[in-house]
Amino acid sequence: MSLLRAFSDFFFPRYCCMCERRLAVAEEEFCSKCLRTLNRIEYEGGEVHGVIERLFWGRIPIVRATSMFQYEGEQTRRILHNIKYFDRPEAAVVLARVFALEQAGTDFFDGIDMIIPLPLAKQKRRKRGYNQCDYIARGLSLQTGIPVVDDVAIRAVNNPTQTHLDHEQRKENVKGIFQLVNPGKIADRHVLIVDDVITTGSTLLSFAEEIAKAPGVSISVFSLAFAGQMVKAALP
Ligand SMILES: [Zn+2]
């Protein structure tokens, strides 16, 4: 395997998804230095309620929420762009596996029955050729053995870009864009919904609110990156 890889790397060099240095034979998508130095968000677990979890309080039956790393600067932007726009979704599998491996000593995956990737609108999926969230879900599943379920909800509307909207406008913009089509599948279950990046959380919240229509469902949230502010606020 590694001989074949060495041979192939000689003719078709592979580059780190984060720093663009050439990868060694044993490295997958990221060089070992980038994987080590990527600015992790520490999931503390137990009774510690993080900033990301608070975005969902009072809106959905949230159990736990975290992201793998803080979105800041050119290198983290490059990771997400490579995953989303430049046809390197396998990098999402690698990161999700590393995240799941690192949670081995925490309660993050405790009691979770299934993993649900945030759906893309059909039109967008066709254009891009893949949904990056499917790859994140697959990476988590490979490491934890928790199954991925992708047929419980659809994205009914391809919402316009959110970039120039403020927080309130974003919430309005994504209202009702998802539709729960298979509530029986998740009734009374604990589901983990996954996205690539949380900015204000409005898209994910809109999806989670739709998922929450299934009776007895409880919800946890994971994203690769968090673009909001990690302020350590006191509990209300
Ligand atoms: Zn690197």
Q: Is 224 helix (H, G, I), strand (E, B) or coil?
A: strand
* Domain positions in the chain: 15-226
Measured in Å, residue 15 CA sits from the centre of ligand 1 at 8
pLDDT in tens, 148-182: 999 999 998 766 666 677 777 777 777 788 999 99
Measured in Å, residue 35 CA sits from the centre of ligand 1 at 7
Residue by residue, DSSP assigns 8-30 as HHHHS--B-TTT-PBPPTT--SS
Measured in Å, residue 34 CA sits from the centre of ligand 1 at 4
> Minimum mean pLDDT among 74-78, 118-122, 230-234: which range?
230-234
Structurally, at CATH architecture level, domain 15-226 sits in: 3-Layer(aba) Sandwich (3.40)
**Global model pTM greater than 0.85:** yes
Measured in Å, residue 26 CA sits from the centre of ligand 1 at 13
For residue 9, pLDDT over 80 is answered with: yes
Measured in Å, residue 36 CA sits from the centre of ligand 1 at 9
| Higher-scoring residue by pLDDT: 230, 19 | 19
Beta strands in the chain (DSSP E): 62-70, 114-117, 153-155, 178-180, 190-198, 218-226
Q: State residue 161's pLDDT score.
A: 66
Measured in Å, residue 155 CA sits from the centre of ligand 1 at 34
Buried b / exposed e over 65-86, threshold 16 CB at 10 Å, is bbbbbbbeeebbebbbebbbee
Q: State residue 231's pLDDT score.
A: 63
